[in-house]
Amino acid sequence: MDHFALNGGVMHAEDVPLPEIAEVVGTPVYVYSRATLERHAQVFRDALADVPDKLIAFAVKSNPNLAVLKVLGAQGMGADVVSVGEMRRALAAGIAPEMIVFSGVGKTAAEMTAALEAGIGQFNIESEEEGLELAAIAAAKGLTAQCTLRINPDVDAGTHDKISTGKADNKFGVPISEAGQIFGKLAGLPGVNLRGVAVHIGSQLADLAPLETAFEKLGALVAALRSAGHTITHVDLGGGLGVPYRMGEVLPAPAEYGAMVARVTKDWGVKLIFEPGRVIAGNAGVLLTRVVRVKRGIKDPFVIVDAAMNDLARPALYGAYHHFEAVEPSAAQMTANIVGPICETGDTFAMGRECDALEAGDLAVFRTAGAYGATMASSYNSRGFVAEVLVDGDRFAVVADRIEAGAIMDAERVPEWLL
Ligand code: LLP
> Which neighbouring-strand residues pair with 339?
304, 348
Distance CA 190, CA 145 (A): 9
Cβ–ligand 1 distance for 392 under 6 Å, the answer: no
The answer to whether residues 38 and 282 touch, using CB atoms and an 8 Å cutoff, is: no
Count the alpha carbons within 13 Å of 181 in the hemisphere toward its beta carbon: 5
Cβ–ligand 1 distance for 107 under 6 Å, the answer: no
Cβ-Cβ contacts under 8 Å for 366 (sequence gap 6 or more): 286, 287, 289, 307, 312, 322, 323, 324, 349
- The CA angle 56-210-266, to the nearest 5 degrees, is 55
Q: Tell me whether residue 318 is annotated as binding.
A: yes
Which residue's alpha carbon is nearest to atom 22 within ligand 1? 203
* Ligand 1 atom, smallest distance to 242 CA: 15
Our CA dihedral for 380, 382, 386, 387, rounded to 10 degrees, sits at 160
Please tell me the distance between residue 277's alpha carbon and the centre of ligand 1 in angstroms. 7
Cβ–ligand 1 distance for 80 under 6 Å, the answer: yes
Q: Tell me whether residue 275 is annotated as binding.
A: yes
* Ligand 1 atom, smallest distance to 282 CA: 14
> Which neighbouring-strand residues pair with 205?
241
Residues with catalytic roles: 343
Cβ–ligand 1 distance for 372 under 6 Å, the answer: yes
Helix (H, G, I), strand (E, B) or coil at 337: strand
* 263 phi/psi in degrees, rounded to 5: -65, -50
The answer to whether residues 322 and 315 touch, using CB atoms and an 8 Å cutoff, is: yes
Please tell me the distance between residue 275's alpha carbon and the centre of ligand 1 in angstroms. 9
Please tell me the distance between residue 25's alpha carbon and the centre of ligand 1 in angstroms. 29
Distance CA 223, CA 217 (A): 10
The distance between the two most distant Cα atoms of the chain, rounded to a whole number of Å, is 70
Range 4-9 contact pairs with CB under 8 angstroms and sequence separation of 24 or more: 4/33, 4/36, 4/286, 4/365, 4/367, 6/329, 9/328, 9/329
Q: Tell me whether residue 202 is annotated as binding.
A: no
Sorted by where each starts, the structural domains of the chain and their CATH numbers stand as 4-32+282-410 (2.40.37.10), 104-274 (3.20.20.10)
Q: Residue-wise over 41-76: b if at least 16 C-beta within 10 A, else e?
A: bebbbebbeebeebbbbbbbbbbbbbbbbbbbbebe
Packing angle of the helix pair 109-118, 84-92 (nearest 10 deg): 20
Please tell me the distance between residue 238's alpha carbon and the centre of ligand 1 in angstroms. 9
Looking at residue 128, its amino acid is E
Q: Tell me whether residue 277 is annotated as binding.
A: yes
* 41 phi/psi in degrees, rounded to 5: -60, -40
Cβ–ligand 1 distance for 385 under 6 Å, the answer: no
Starting at the edge strand that comes first in sequence, how are the strands of the sheet with 4-7 ordered? 4-7, 10-13, 16-17
Q: Tell me whether residue 240 is annotated as binding.
A: yes
* Ligand 1 atom, smallest distance to 104 CA: 3
In 3D space, the residue among 84, 43, 48, 49 whose CA is nearest the CA of residue 237 turns out to be 48
Please tell me the distance between residue 203's alpha carbon and the centre of ligand 1 in angstroms. 5
Q: What is the pLDDT along the chain (419 residues), one digit of tens a residue?
A: 899 999 999 999 999 999 999 999 999 999 999 999 999 999 999 999 999 999 999 999 999 999 999 999 999 999 999 999 999 999 999 999 999 999 999 999 999 999 999 999 999 999 999 999 999 999 999 999 999 999 999 998 888 888 778 888 889 999 999 999 999 999 999 999 999 999 999 999 999 999 999 999 999 999 999 999 999 999 999 999 999 999 999 999 999 999 999 999 999 999 999 999 999 999 999 999 999 999 999 999 999 999 999 999 999 999 999 999 999 999 999 999 999 999 999 999 999 999 999 999 999 999 999 999 999 999 999 999 999 999 999 999 999 999 999 999 999 999 999 99
Q: Could you write out the DSSP letters of every residue in 95-139? A: --GGGEEE--TT--HHHHHHHHHHT-SEEEE-SHHHHHHHHHHHH
